[in-house]
Amino acid sequence: MTAPVESPSIRRLADWDPTRLESLAQDYGSPLYVLDLERVRENYRRLESAFPDAEILYAVKANALGDVLETLREEGAGLECASAGEVERALAASESAAENGATGANVHYTAVNPPARDLEWVVDAWEEYPDLTITVGAEDTIDRLEERGYDGRLCLRVNPGIGAGHHEKVQTGAAAKFGVPAERAVDVLADAADRGFDVVGIHAHVGSGVSSDQLGDHREFVSRMGDLARDVSEALAGDGDGLEFVDVGGGFGVPYREEDQPLDLEAVGDATRDALGDVDAALTIEPGRYFVADAGVLLTAVNTVKEARDTLAVGVDAGMTTLLRPAMYDAYHPIRNLTAAIEAEQHGASDDERGRETVAQTIAGPICESGDVFCENRHLPVSERTDVLVIGNAGAYGYEMANQYNSRPRPASIVLEDGDVRLARRRETLEDVTRLEREARDSEPSANHETHAEHDTR
């Protein structure tokens, strides 16, 4: 196990160097995602210290940038994937991080109502990486895998009937969409074992962004998983070696608001082990947000300032197409005016003590939607055109949810590591936005009839 590092349990927005961030915006343009890979490593090592005996998988959906995946694989994390595309990224990252070639042993595919194309791609990948694990959340998916010749490592996602998280849209533990009801899990797994599948684990995820005050829900959820693991092991006693692991998901929250306190990871680790109880299987966890949220920020430039009726309306070049969480979840992200902060530092004063009055501002993007706002009536040093703002805790579910609505190109991403800066993903252009349409028009007529049917007929 890597020795834990001495690092703060949360990196606040004020901990980022404003002069360096503003220079990055000047060098690379805006909007711009900035990700600190050293902070990703620190977060991994802190969590590993709190869960020393657990298998740790990184939930790739939080941030699938190849640099992130390779960094976490180098630290020892496995990769939990929600799509065939994420499996492809995970295998590529494992190949890059491995000294003796990649295997699928550290890659889990968690199939949620998987499209046929996804299943076929992953089953093909399994032929090359036979130690890859597929987690299914429906009996239908087991049937579909069998029809495709898959009889490899199988984990069952169960629905424990309890959910938690920062927003109702991410409280998955009780949602009908996710998993087989826990009371049916034993029968489903026994049937899968009888059909020749290599049953290796059970899995559930209570939700995303679980906070300290939801620790009771987490404990109850894990307790139910422990009870289920013991029932499954007893039922499968004659069908093999029993379960390899009990995966209790991730969902470890981070404090987005300045006054919020970080999770007590040691307490979470102790509560998890106590609630799980004595099981003859390894504990597996799969955090995503915890590793990357405070490792990333979004830089955006002010282009419009106007007096509205009840607020100062500040327009920036990032929008809900760049960072969707505020519009989708009413999520709070800290915001700092870097230009004002640098001016204040130069004069030995705080942000609002050099002639910049602190006023209520609504920070909004360029998208033609009233929901395209990052904050409303937030008290900040008054913004001026060409100022650079930084939005904090943007490393998780930032670029991953970026899109081209209003035909807007997606932003660039850079990574910081060992004092160096590297462009990790170039900025899209208008040509990129229309590229697929132009390629479709220019392709051979037969290519336009490429298989469109993705539905299962088997």
Asked which of 139-148, 215-224, 336-345 is least confident by mean pLDDT, the reply is 215-224
Q: For residue 355, what pLDDT is reported? A: 58
Confirm if 179 and 131 have CB atoms less than 8 A apart: no
The whole-chain average pLDDT of the chain stands at: 89
Q: For residue 119, what pLDDT is reported? A: 97
Q: Is 319 annotated as a binding residue?
A: no
Asked which of 219-228, 298-307, 345-354 is least confident by mean pLDDT, the reply is 345-354
Radius of gyration, CA atoms only, the chain:
24
* The pLDDT of residue 172 is above 60: no
Q: For residue 63, what pLDDT is reported? A: 98
Could you count the other beta carbons within 10 Å of the beta carbon of residue 188? 19
More confident of the two residues 423 and 254: 423
Q: Is 356 annotated as a binding residue?
A: no
Q: For residue 242, what pLDDT is reported? A: 78
pLDDT in tens, 68-86: 999 999 999 999 999 999 9
pLDDT in tens, 87-106: 999 999 998 877 656 679 99
CATH, range 37-293: 3.20.20.10
Query: Which distant-in-sequence residues (6+ apart) come within 8 Å of 220 by Cβ?
Result: 162, 275
Q: Is 287 annotated as a binding residue?
A: yes
Q: Kindly indicate the confidence band of residue 164, based on its pLDDT and cuts at 50, 70 and 90.
A: very low
Confirm if 335 and 391 have CB atoms less than 8 A apart: yes
- Per-residue pLDDT, averaged over 240-269, amounts to 87
Q: For residue 362, what pLDDT is reported? A: 97
* The pLDDT of residue 457 is above 60: no
Superfamily of segment(s) 294-423: Lyase, Ornithine Decarboxylase; Chain A, domain 1 (2.40.37.10)
Q: Is 55 annotated as a binding residue?
A: no
Separation of alpha carbons 346 and 110, rounded Å: 51
Asked which of 268-282, 356-370, 377-391, 400-414 is least confident by mean pLDDT, the reply is 268-282
Scanning 166-250, the segments in alpha helix (DSSP H) are 185-194, 215-235
Q: Is 184 annotated as a binding residue?
A: no
The residue type of 328 is M
81, 155, 368, 375: the catalytic one is 368
Q: For residue 398, what pLDDT is reported? A: 97
Q: For residue 156, what pLDDT is reported? A: 96
Q: For residue 8, what pLDDT is reported? A: 80
Separation of alpha carbons 110 and 105, rounded Å: 14
* The pLDDT of residue 350 is above 80: no
Give which of 438, 335, 265 is closest to 14, Cα–Cα.
Answer: 335
Q: For residue 456, what pLDDT is reported? A: 62
CA 234 to chain centre: 35
| % of the chain exceeding 70 in pLDDT | 87
Separation of alpha carbons 194 and 44, rounded Å: 38
Give which of 363, 360, 342, 364 is closest to 351, Cα–Cα.
Answer: 342
More confident of the two residues 134 and 3: 134
Separation of alpha carbons 391 and 181, rounded Å: 40
pLDDT in tens, 123-147: 999 999 999 999 999 999 999 999 9
Q: Is 115 annotated as a binding residue?
A: no
Continuous segment of H or E residues that includes residue 70: helix 66-75
Confirm if 330 and 324 have CB atoms less than 8 A apart: no
Give the β-pairing of 420-425 and 358-364.
unpaired
Q: Kindly indicate the confidence band of residue 206, based on its pLDDT and cuts at 50, 70 and 90.
A: confident
Q: Is 289 annotated as a binding residue?
A: yes
Which residues on neighbouring strands pair with residue 34, listed in sequence order?
297, 414
The token pair at 430 is 């208008």
Q: Is 329 annotated as a binding residue?
A: yes
- Most confident range (mean pLDDT) of 151-155, 252-256, 277-281, 348-352 is 151-155
- Per-residue pLDDT, averaged over 168-196, amounts to 78
Q: Is 117 annotated as a binding residue?
A: no
Asked which of 123-127, 199-203, 269-273 is least confident by mean pLDDT, the reply is 269-273
Q: For residue 210, what pLDDT is reported? A: 57
* The pLDDT of residue 171 is above 60: no
Q: Where in the chain is the domain with CATH 2.40.37.10?
A: 294-423
Q: Where in the chain is the domain with CATH 3.20.20.10?
A: 37-293
* The pLDDT of residue 173 is above 80: no
Q: For residue 236, what pLDDT is reported? A: 85
pLDDT in tens, 385-421: 999 999 999 999 999 999 999 999 999 999 999 999 9
Q: Kindly indicate the confidence band of residue 186, based on its pLDDT and cuts at 50, 70 and 90.
A: very high
- Distance between first and last Cα of the chain: 46
Separation of alpha carbons 159 and 157, rounded Å: 7
- Per-residue pLDDT, averaged over 201-219, amounts to 73
Q: For residue 163, what pLDDT is reported? A: 45
- Per-residue pLDDT, averaged over 203-213, amounts to 68
The token pair at 458 is 């088997």
Separation of alpha carbons 398 and 40, rounded Å: 15
The b-or-e profile of 284-310 (16+ CB within 10 A means b, else e) is bbbbbbbbbbbbbbbbbbbeeeeeeee
| pTM across the whole model | 0.91
Coil, helix or strand at residue 98: coil
Query: Which distant-in-sequence residues (6+ apart) come within 8 Å of 118 by Cβ?
Result: 83, 84, 111
Could you count the other beta carbons within 10 Å of the beta carbon of residue 249? 29
Cis peptide before 31 (omega within 30 of 0): yes
Q: Is 368 a catalytic residue?
A: yes
Separation of alpha carbons 147 and 458, rounded Å: 7
Separation of alpha carbons 160 and 180, rounded Å: 9
